[in-house]
Structure 1
């Protein structure tokens, strides 16, 4: 995603918000554990302001402008821009003729929502719109919309370290996975779950180790996995290092790695 594209998207959302006229009646939902969500649709039904409150999360208290995407059958997605990509923050689905809402908060398993009539009656859409405009002026939403490469690499590195720790424990020997992050562009980091691909080698090693001593010997001598993305999948061994080249569209990568380890 280029800077120009992000600027255009940000400008579009800003212009839409400037002309935003909210419907008279918003809705407030409970997600349990003190978490609530306020939904204030626009009068034309194409947009909505959404605010989540009561949770230790980067989005807590932030009023986000969402675009409503109709799916048919009285179902819709409420989409906003987060971390460089379109994100369906709120889902409305039809269950036995009644609408059901689900909050998809990044980094969580999601929350089923229940309508809160008392808090709905007390909600004030004009106050919500004013808070949105104030936060927008401060750059709160724009910061959340931008892709944070440094944070994404930090998060992926932590996930790989956890996979390595689990595999090291299973095999009784230190195993580490390394990725040349500079070789991956922003689009790849946004689109791919790098730990899922690059962590597969030590995961397969752990699977063998957990089957007992004869299988554990298959991974003996391996200390490090160097992972990269290429045009096709392959594994090469040199001294104590396995160089793993993965490809996002390649199927059955676990089987490929498992067969390599069993026959090395």
Structure 2
């Protein structure tokens, strides 16, 4: 009985949410290379939003229907933006080129340029407008879009540490030693992690070590004594050495950081 009531409640919630979204009669169907497809279904009474779906991709957004915000980019260019990993991301871009309309799909976190797609006729496997609205309601009730919209701190931390490991390897090879950069993650909040490349900031000591050892071998013996870099975010630039460890306090808006680090390392 309880399972039946739960199912009925889910159906009623889905129906309510589906009815709450009024869409135009005809979706825009897009197709690209291989299996890539996309659909745009504008809302009827709100031209600032549209339901959008990308499918045929090995990505977390595959077949997820998002309620996208339209952003006017000027020159007849419009971005369909979704919430993903704590930030607004362009999923589909519509533009004009020499009077011709074009579309591009951007998959979040792939590091790729937009993939060109063009308007196509609806096929038997493409979702109808009713199916898109229903799928959006079901996925929304399951929290799928909400989960994708949440900031994934663990992923960003792992990516940053992987970048630091590469820079440390370059410095270790250039200076003939083993150097390890560690970040004080308690000094890095989510907003800072979203806003700047933490790896680019904290890898500056290792980066300058590699540069100095590569171009000025006379410094290698001194720099080879360093084993650890402790990186922390603060309000001002600071560097301090204690034995074989350097503590580097970096700051988001501090200028000429690489020059500051380079000068410090040359004066050990």
TM-score range (shorter-chain normalised) is 0.7 to 0.9
Q: How does 1:45-194 map to 2 (within 5 A)?
A: 45-108=47-110, 109-119=112-122, 122-194=126-198
1:205 Cα deviation from its structure 2 partner: 1.5
Match of 1:221 in 2: 225
Match of 2:248, SS?
A: strand
Q: Is the 8 A contact 1:28 1:123 kept in 2?
A: no
1:179 Cα deviation from its structure 2 partner: 0.9
Match of 1:107, SS?
A: coil
Match of 1:5 in 2: none
Q: Is the 8 A contact 1:63 1:128 kept in 2?
A: yes
Counterpart Cα distance in 2 of 1:33 and 1:219:
52
Match of 1:249, SS?
A: coil
| Structure ID, larger Rg | 2
Match of 1:9 in 2: none
Counterpart Cα distance in 2 of 1:17 and 1:170:
61
User: Match for 2:203 among 199, 206, 211?
Assistant: 199
Match of 1:134, SS?
A: helix
Give aligned pairs, total. Answer: 250
1:215 Cα deviation from its structure 2 partner: 4.7
- 1:24-56 deviation digits (Å, cap 9, x = unpaired): 222233453533322222224221122222222
1:185 Cα deviation from its structure 2 partner: 2.1
RMSD of aligned alpha carbons: 2.5
Relative distance call for 1:170 and 1:101 in structure 2 (3 A) is: farther
User: Match for 1:246 among 244, 247, 250?
Assistant: 250
Show structure 2 runs of 5+ residues with no match. Answer: 1-15
**2:264 is equivalent to residue 260 of structure 1:** yes
Relative distance call for 1:68 and 1:176 in structure 2 (3 A) is: same
Q: Is the 8 A contact 1:26 1:39 kept in 2?
A: yes
Match of 1:50, SS?
A: strand
- 1:147-197 deviation digits (Å, cap 9, x = unpaired): 233333233223322332333233332211111112322222222221111
Match of 2:160, SS?
A: helix
TM-score by length of 2: 0.82
Match of 2:63, SS?
A: coil
Counterpart Cα distance in 1 of 2:88 and 2:162:
24
